[in-house]
Structure 1
Amino acid sequence: PSVKSVIQGFLPGLALKIFLIMLPKLIMAMSKMEGYTSFSSLERRSASKYYLFVLVNVFLGSIVTGTAFQQLEQLINQPSSE
């Protein structure tokens, strides 16, 4: 396999996984800056923000971009005749 295919196929998924691993710690720090002091409230706020982020960016984002790229490919391959 060429280096380009490894970079295009492997690295984006790896980068996303590393980011999602680091994200809870980042969100916890942001919740501390918001003024939450008890550990339970920090965990609750962090968990809700994390799952909202995952839902919107990973799940819905992949659906929207996948659909957009399919439509773009259709427009390129089969232009409408007027």
Structure 2
Amino acid sequence: MGLKVWRCMIESYTCDLDETGNLLVVGLRDMNRLPEAVKCTEDMIERGIKLNSATLTKLKQSLSKIGKSFTYEELLSKWKSQS
């Protein structure tokens, strides 16, 4: 349901998406929906939506646990180039 709301928000709003985007990524991660969290993170970075370092740290912890640290490194590189 959160993903449907997110899609509606990015179609209808052009600002104030940062906080909601961070909550979505952390929520997906907390629900063990890591692939969706990563996909949303990539999309947000491409759209210029600011993600908090705390959000990325939580994502890093989960990705490290499953041996996908390289995925985090790719996200971090994209995030740094956005800033």
Larger helix proportion, structure 1 or 2?
Answer: 1
| TM-score category, normalised to shorter length | under 0.3
TM score, norm. by length of structure 1:
0.26
Structure of larger gyration radius: 1
Higher RCO structure (Cα 8 Å, ≥6 apart): 2
